[in-house]
Amino acid sequence: MYQLFKPLIFCLEPETAHNLAIKFLKFCPRLATILAYPIDYSNLNNKVFDLDFSSPIGLSAGFDKNCEVAKTLIKFGFGFIEVGTTTPLAQIGNEQPRIFRLNQDQAIINRLGFNNLGADVFFENLQSLNQSLGNNSKKIIGVNIGKNKDTINAIDDYKLLIEKFYNHANYITINISSPNTKNLRYLQNEQTLYDFLQAIDNTKQKLKAISKINTPILLKIAPDLDFDQQQSIAKIALQSKISGLIISNTSVARDFNLKSKNADQLGGLSGKPIFEISNQVLKNIYHFTEGKLPIIGVGGISSAQDVYRKIKLGASLVQIYTALIYQGFGMIEKLNQQLSELLIKDGYKNIKQAIGVDNN
């Protein structure tokens, strides 16, 4: 169905198309999922962060920024949905236009700047979502959090959001790697990151003691880190008791022989071109952490072989976004089926057996 309407959709400005997609999924959920018949492939089931994932394939943050359509999205066969990024206060983000398609490269450049309706609206939507999902442990929802543009002391925003969502999310992702919020990536510097994650852990331990709930907290990092930075982050992540890492966010690099007319736009690049650099960071971090920290692999996935590649390099789970713009949500069931077949072909009874096998 998506391929029929894709030429029309691509006539629209990217942000307009995105907003219409959210409205369609929100107000016409049955029509949107009329052809969605996801199958549970037992060899894709895995427990990560003490959560039961029916599939390792999830939706990356950025699509459902305000937690409006996750209930509909999960019906396409995703193993989990990450909603957000949300910030304490509503903000409009950067000036438009701020999303650019790179059709020839199967890529996107965005400089959105954490545009969202704020944590209070997000919280109401998340509560409604949790009530509608009930106690279904296979419906896993992660919450991606970020700082407001004008916040001086970033840790204040992150602590506030962790306190707000700790009892209501299956996991929380700390986003300090978006290139579209000024100075945000400085939080990845060694001493700053160490102090930052210590403060995060202190907040978590207080909440855990009160609630008796152990909500996983993940850190999302950039693909543009050099070798020494990657090694440093791996060491700090192990020391800080962070639950896992998401590798990686969008890239500010442009040395990918991009062919599309929008290739020189400022912002974060996602899609096919960053597949290899995100894989290299994934491979390095898995090696540095000796496989002790679960990793969610993100960046450039457009096929089941791409998913499998990240799994074999050390990812326990993966996330997709940009490929959906070019292939539609129907690709998720196709990825699940083909990934299941790849595991069978290689003699693996379960996906956990394939994690990290190519990381030498």
Catalytic residue from among 178, 232, 251, 270: 178
Residue 137, pLDDT score: 62
Residue 135, pLDDT score: 72
28 part of a folded domain? no
Q: Could you list the pLDDT tens digit for every one of the 360 residues in the chain?
A: 788 889 999 999 999 999 999 999 999 999 999 988 899 999 999 999 999 999 999 999 999 999 999 999 999 999 999 999 999 999 999 999 999 999 999 999 999 999 999 999 999 999 999 999 887 667 999 999 999 999 999 999 999 999 999 999 999 999 998 988 888 888 888 788 999 999 999 999 999 999 999 999 999 999 999 999 999 999 999 999 899 999 999 999 999 999 999 999 999 999 999 999 999 999 999 999 999 999 999 999 999 999 999 999 999 999 999 999 999 999 999 999 999 999 999 999 999 999 999 987
25 part of a folded domain? no
Residue 2, pLDDT score: 85
Which CATH number characterizes residue 189's domain?
A: 3.20.20.70
Global pTM value? 0.97
List, in order, residues 6 or more apart from 312 with CB less than 8 Å away.
354, 355, 356, 357, 358, 359
Residue 289, pLDDT score: 97
Number of structural domains (the chain) is 1
Residue 136, pLDDT score: 65
4 part of a folded domain? no
23 part of a folded domain? no
58 part of a folded domain? yes
340 in active site: no
**Residue for token digits 């700082």?**
147
Q: Is the dihedral of CA 179, 251, 318, 59 positive or negative?
A: positive
29 part of a folded domain? no
Residue 190, pLDDT score: 79
Distances from the Cα of 216 to the Cαs of 44, 95, 194, 320, in angstroms? 21, 34, 18, 20
13 part of a folded domain? no
Q: Are 79 and 44 in contact (CB under 8 A)?
A: yes
Q: How far is the C-alpha of 119 from the C-alpha of 285, rounded, in Å?
A: 31
6 part of a folded domain? no
Domain of residue 253, residue span = 35-354
